[in-house]
Chain A
Amino acid sequence: MQSPLVTEALFHLGPVPITAPVAVTWGILAVLGGGAFVATRRLKLVPGRGQALLETIVATIDAQIRDTMQADPAPYRALIGGIFLFVLTANWVSLIPGLEPPTAHIETDAALALIVFAATIGYGIKARGLVGYLKTFAEPTWVMIPLNVVEQITRTFSLVVRLFGNIMSGVFVIGIILSLAGLLVPIPLMALDLLTGAVQAYIFAVLATVFIGAAVSEGEAPAPRRDSLQKER
């Protein structure tokens, strides 16, 4: 059995090895971008069915961000909504035979988590200034500085591993089942994977929102993960 932890390069562009997740992500990029371009080319004041769906998605994302951060969602809409849509699409790519979700490989998850990490720092500095943002590490006392730094890193790592483990385990289990019994048996597990993929995409987006909100919010302790989850639900 092939290890789920290694990725083979499909081909090389010069010195750059192009692996399957990268290629699939390109496909997702093309589909999502093209779809968005086509779908938003003729927006009307009186929405059709597709436009109503788009607006519902956007409005829902806005509502979730507003509920979680208690702030205007406009600056964070593109980041949070884009991450959510990408992770969801990537998780559901396994519906297409022969394709593996890019999120089943740790590089994609690490890239996403790095982007969230950078965005957290960037939004925090933008909201409080560099000194102000650095001071938040000394809350409630300077003794907490190492713990806060470690928390920043571990929660990002946790973000990576959570998404990677969930999706990869789904793919792995389905691979095992396929090797044992080919026909119809993996279907319930694939359905479960769809559910897991949607939930994980949602959780990833919500956690990114919580991190950014904690970095941005003035003088408030970072919102506890669980409270925020229950509150916004």
Chain B
Amino acid sequence: MDNLIQVVSIASAALAVSFGAIGPALGEGRAVAAAMDAIARQPESAGTLSRTLFVGLAMIETMAIYCLVIALLVLFANPFVK
């Protein structure tokens, strides 16, 4: 198992992306549900709500992006791989 570090790196990268996707997915689902609820209650403010929703989603997505960056670091810039 000379390439144990590579195997662990790939496995941890997949783990990071998959688990890092769960949290933002749940968060985005709640955010969208709340936005839909608000739009259903007040259709006249749908424009403002949807714009705010987009920005919020981008902020939440950043969490997943962090995980992706970590995964990419592990894959391509692994300090333990010579």
Contact = CB atoms under 8 A, between A and B. Distances in A.
Q: Do chains A and B touch in the complex (CB under 8 A)?
A: yes
Contact of A196 (B58, B66, B77): B58
A186 interface: no
A168 B61 CA distance: 14
A191 B62 CA distance: 19
A123 interface: no
Contacts of B59: 203, 225-226, 229
B65 A169 contact: yes
Interface residues of A, number: 23
B70 to A, nearest CB: 10
B73 to A, nearest CB: 7
A39 B54 CA distance: 32
B76 interface: yes
Contacts of B77: 3, 5-6
Contacts of B51: 233
B48 A233 contact: yes
B16 interface: no
Nearest to B48: A233
Nearest to A164: B69
**Top-10 shortest CB links A-B:** A165-B65, A3-B76, A233-B52, A199-B58, A162-B62, A165-B69, A5-B77, A169-B68, A233-B51, A5-B76
Interface of B: 48, 51-52, 54-56, 58-59, 61-62, 65-66, 68-69, 72-73, 76-77
